[in-house]
Amino acid sequence: MFRTQNDCTYLMPVHFGGGKFDPGTIVSQRTVALGITYETDGKLLENYIPEGFELLAPEVQVTFNKFTEINWMHGGYYNLINVAAPVRFHGKKDHLDGSYTLVVWENRTAPILGGREQTGIPKIYADIEDLHVLRPHYSTTVSYEGNTFLTMDFEAAGAVTGDDLEGLRSGFASINTIGWRYIPKVGAPGADLSQFVLYPQGMEVETAQVGTGTLKWTELTPVQNPAQYYIINSLAALPMKRITQAALMEGRAILRAMGARVIE
């Protein structure tokens, strides 16, 4: 009969075996990132920030990432859209600034499962086009079962160099990504597990370009996207006052896969 090992970590299904827990496990991957940040209404945005956090700026950060050469996928690849807001966590023990993850869409299920269950990143599925590139123009489309709900466009204006590039590099060297891991009770309301998780992530920026970004949310109906329409429509309803930043970066992401911890 199957029995778990004390020094292993598992994901469902458990009974085919897990992996030896190794705190030094490294995730390594190449990435192209397109980030567009915009100012919104802080009061409205706070509706989606849980108690215990303080919203540091009325800002929505949307980032497209294409990951390739992913070591834990034996060289595989996937795309994601990360939506976050800058926050300060006021816990009993922990006090820190970070990026609170509102939602992440990914076009591959395996990293969705690990991200949710191991680190509380609220990942869900969408179809995400690779960047269409006709220099200096870059664009992508995000959709669910054929229903477009997000488009991102970028016109590069020039490379970032010198001190600006160094600044970008140090800014992206480590980001305090924060997720809310929540596992519901079985057959009852409420949670069996509800924790905030800090998962420091970083990117070694190699090259970067700034430019003009545009971003468009399209509302969907429950028929078009039964499990996500209210998420999309909540984001679409936040006013986009002005784009404050748009940048395209290439580099590597190297992170400690087991480096997350619960914050209190």
Binding to a copy of itself, residues 61-120 (CB under 8 A): 68-69, 71-77, 101-103, 108-110, 112-113, 116-120
Q: Shortest gap between Cβ of 166 and a copy of itself (angstroms)?
A: 27
Which is nearer to a copy of itself, 37 or 119 (by Cβ)? 119
DSSP label at 203?
-
User: According to the binding rule CB under 8 A, does residue 207 interact with a copy of itself?
Assistant: no
Q: Which of 39, 41, 49, 175 binds a copy of itself (CB under 8 A)?
A: 49
Which is nearer to a copy of itself, 73 or 165 (by Cβ)? 73
At 234 the three-state DSSP class reads: helix
Are β-strands 204-217 and 242-256 bridged in parallel, bridged antiparallel, or unpaired? antiparallel
Q: Shortest gap between Cβ of 173 and a copy of itself (angstroms)?
A: 21
Q: Shortest gap between Cβ of 161 and a copy of itself (angstroms)?
A: 23
CB-CB contact of 38 with 63 (8 Å): no
Footprint on residues 149-178 left by a copy of itself (CB under 8 A): none
Burial string for 187-200 (b: 16+ CB within 10 Å, else e) reads: eeeeeeeeebbbbb
Q: Which stretch binds a copy of itself (CB under 8 A): 10-18, 157-165, 166-174, 245-253?
A: 10-18
Are β-strands 76-90 and 95-106 bridged in parallel, bridged antiparallel, or unpaired? antiparallel
Residues 183-202, one symbol each (x = binds a copy of itself by CB under 8 A, - = not), give xxxxxxxxxxxxx-x-----
Q: Which of 95, 132, 216, 241 binds a copy of itself (CB under 8 A)?
A: 132
Q: Which of 41, 56, 88, 129 binds a copy of itself (CB under 8 A)?
A: 129
At 153 the three-state DSSP class reads: strand
Residue carrying the six token digits 């929505």: 60
Which is nearer to a copy of itself, 37 or 225 (by Cβ)? 225
CB-CB contact of 140 with 128 (8 Å): yes
Taking Cα atoms as reference points, which of 139, 134, 116, 149 lies closest to residue 260?
Answer: 116
Tokens of 157: 């204006």
Tokens of 161: 């160099």
User: According to the binding rule CB under 8 A, does residue 264 interact with a copy of itself?
Assistant: no
